[in-house]
Homo-oligomer: A and B are copies of this chain.
């Protein structure tokens, strides 16, 4: 992809100044148009060492209102970033609607730099890059990728010049790209990477940059053209995503009977609860030691016993190591981002436990049934969620998913109990009754969800919830078994 390019294209000083003024004004206008259209915009700048990325970025941002963009220089990960999933630090930085994020270097540099000796990991991360960009593109983000390309000769010349400029010299010496063998060492990797990751919706733009003025003008013109095309597509393409919609093929999955066969007596229950509780208490310390993050998520019908099961679980935990994340409708500011963004922000650190009381599955349950998102959004969410979870598992986390299941009569019984018990009245709201009236619609959403997102590595656990004792023991036992199993696997691997 890099080969047949003339890198020394030129532009006269006079043309440069005149063109730049016009382009700056136009790009300022387009920023305001993107803002009005509520479009989030990501720019990625990669390139050779000393190719002038900073200089070009500094010219580009001068046309923007500073209220509308943030620029992130991406270097070595911080101590927290280093122990989280690779894409965590990039998810954290995606722009909300109407805003611009500029990555001065990005996941691409990091993939090559961090994994140059591990081609399997490199391949995996390139695959996640594809997923990351596709999920955002599907969600209406505009993504532009630039590679600032200079010749080896030009790079040598610049290194030499920087010897006499203390400022440039300092920056180069503190780069983590080791400029001395930059070109030869990385060329084949970068060339491959550019070819492989130049997708139709987010192709690489190669900027010939031996002449910096030319590079600035070409970058400007490319950005302007791409924004104009994007805004134009926005207005015309309602059927743009039709092919993806067809991917959603509902079939039927039938939820089991919610009544357990052998209801537990209270003494049996207390006995088992303590048994599994003690096991969980010790497993928490093992998770710490082995630095394994644990995520347990509870979904279920209203009043199915999510809260009660969570209390029985946390009773045995050291509070320094767990946090409960109650998930309700996204706030105004969360709505400005891709819906998975807030869950990336809630991932536990290695060794810690996060308990989700409801979760990202809201997209294919309440948001689907109540029409809070478009068909296109919830239909593609199954794949997005599977990708999200496979990334978490691959990172090394244990993920346990519970569907707390009760039947319609049992729910009514519990609603009424809450309604008439002064200690529990605050727990029941209008929403609960409204959801209940849509039982059948929820049932088909649940059945789709369990069928499509029960992957081999991370199946749903359906908890028979009509009996509270049995339900709680089933969740505790599942957690205890699942964590033990994974710790054992882990030991065998090492």
Give CA–CA (A65, B325) in the complex, Å.
11
Per-residue CB proximity of A164-189 to B under 8 Å, as 1/0?
00110011001000000000000000
Say how far A94's CB is from chain B's closest CB, in angstroms.
17
* 6 A-B residue pairings within 8 Å (CB atoms): A58-B314, A61-B319, A167-B281, A167-B282, A171-B285, A171-B318
Stretch of A71-79, A243-251, A255-263, A388-396 that contacts chain B: A71-79
- A54 touching B333 in the complex, CB below 8 Å, given contacts A79-B78, A167-B285, A288-B170: no
Contacts of A282 in B (CB 8 A): 166-167
A343 beta carbon closer than 8 Å to chain B = no
A66 on the B face (CB < 8 A): yes
Q: Are A423 and B320 in contact (CB under 8 A)?
A: no
Q: Are A320 and B73 in contact (CB under 8 A)?
A: yes
Q: How far is the CA of A357 from the CA of B66 in the complex (A)?
A: 9
Is A138 an interface residue, CB under 8 A from the partner? no
A167–B280 Cα distance when bound, in Å, is: 11
Cα separation A71 to B317 with both chains bound (whole Å): 14
Q: A70 and B323 in contact (CB under 8 A), knowing A54-B318, A333-B333?
A: yes
Q: What's the minimum C-beta distance from A314 to chain B, rounded to whole angstroms?
A: 7
Q: Is A104 an interface residue (CB 8 A)?
A: yes
Please measure, in the bound complex, the distance between the C-alpha atom of A42 and the C-alpha atom of B194, giving whole angstroms: 51
Q: How far is the CA of A407 from the CA of B62 in the complex (A)?
A: 28
- Residues in chain B near residue A166, CB distance under 8 A: 282, 285
Please report which residues of chain A, range 451-472, place their CB below 8 angstroms from some CB of chain B when the two chains form the complex: none
Q: Name the B residues within 8 Å of A288 (CB-CB).
A: 170, 174
Pairwise interchain contact B80-A317, C-beta atoms closer than 8 A: no
In the complex, how many angstroms separate the beta carbon of A24 from the nearest chain B beta carbon? 11
Alpha-carbon gap, A32 to B73, bound state (A):
43
> How far, in angstroms, from A285 to B167 measured CA to CA in the complex?
6
Cβ of A415 to closest chain B Cβ, rounded Å: 19
Contact status A66-B324, CB under 8 Å: yes
Determine the distance from Cα of A54 to Cα of B315 in the docked complex, in whole angstroms: 12
Q: How far is the CA of A71 from the CA of B324 in the complex (A)?
A: 10
A240 within 8 A of B: no
Interface string of A277-320 (1 = CB under 8 A from B): 00001101100110000000000000000000011001101111
Q: Shortest distance in angstroms between A319's beta carbon and chain B's nearest beta carbon?
A: 4
Is A426 in contact with chain B by the CB < 8 A criterion? yes
Minimum CB–CB distance from A21 to chain B (whole Å) comes to 10
User: Which residues in B have their C-beta under 8 angstroms from that of A281?
Assistant: 167
Most buried by B among A61, A62, A66: A66
A57: Cβ under 8 A from any B Cβ: yes
Whether a CB of chain B sits under 8 angstroms from the CB of A328 is: yes
Q: What's the least CB distance linking A141 to chain B, in Å?
A: 22
A330 located at the interface, meaning its Cβ lies under 8 Å from any Cβ of chain B in the complex: no
Query: What 8 A-B pairs come out closest when comparing CB atoms?
Result: A73-B320, A66-B324, A58-B319, A79-B79, A167-B285, A67-B326, A170-B285, A66-B326
Q: Which residues of A in the span 101-144 have a Cβ within 8 Å of any Cβ on B?
A: 104
Residues of chain B contacted by A311 (CB below 8 angstroms): 62
Choose from B70, B104, B314, B328 the contact partner of A67 (Cβ within 8 Å): B328
Residue of B nearest to A427 (CB): B65
Tell me which of A315, A319, A324 has the highest count of chain B C-beta atoms within 10 A of its own C-beta: A319
Instruction: Say whether B426 contacts A32, CB under 8 Å.
Output: yes
Tell yes or no: A15 within 8 A of B by CB.
Answer: no
Q: How far is the CA of A326 from the CA of B66 in the complex (A)?
A: 6
Which B residues are CB-close (under 8 A) to A324?
66
* Interface presence of A439 (CB below 8 A): no
B104 near A320: Cβ-Cβ < 8 Å: yes
The residue of chain B having its C-beta at the shortest distance from the C-beta of A82 within the complex is B79
- Nearest to A423 among chain B residues (CB) is B25
Which one, B25, B170, B171, B319, contacts A54 given CB within 8 A? B319
CB A37 to nearest CB in B, in angstroms, measures: 16
Residues of B contacting A493 with CB < 8 Å? none
A148 → chain B, closest Cβ, in Å?
A: 14
In the complex, A12 has a CB within 8 A of chain B: no
Give the CA-CA distance A289 to B73 in the complex, in Å: 17
Contacts of A326 in B (CB 8 A): 65-67
A332 at the interface (CB under 8 A from B): yes
